[in-house]
Amino acid sequence: MNTAVRIILLIQTIGGGYFGAVMTATSAEGMPVVMSVTGIVMFLGITLAGISFALSPGRTWPVLAALAVQTIWISTPAFSYKISTGLAFWIITMSGQGNVWANFGADVSLGSFGIQQTGFGLNIVALSLLAIVWMSAKGQRDRTKHVEQRSEM
């Protein structure tokens, strides 16, 4: 994985996760406690995934998990879920209408039994980073396996 991708991952996870946790904690007034605590815990989990990656770049599963939770936006009248850190570029469909939406910073939307519209969205930035990290980790595993096979000969 090249240096630029590593730096982007660290900014997205550590910077965005920390910013999201702080912003959720400071603006939790008026929010249901369960929702604010869930948001803070999710943002801290994303931050810890980035720290884990910074300390051990070969250990990619925490970053993969942190990116995976940021790839989808689901909204129904019974439940809504969206979380993103760093740069997010969403392609969404709400009530049959397509749209795009971009955000830089941190964003969380958790809800139940509200007046949300029905919709679905994909965060193209998180999805792209997920694919890059996944392919990079797979390539590293393949190279390691190849070296091990050659050393056994």
134-152: b (≥16 Cβ within 10 Å) or e: eebbeeeeeeeeeeeeeee
CB 98 within 8 A of CB 44: no
69 has a pLDDT exceeding 70: yes
116 has a pLDDT exceeding 90: no
Rounded average pLDDT over 45-74: 95
Mean pLDDT estimate for the chain: 88
Indicate the pTM of the whole model: 0.84
150 has a pLDDT exceeding 70: no
The per-residue pLDDT for range 123-143, each reduced to its tens digit, is 999 999 999 999 988 776 665
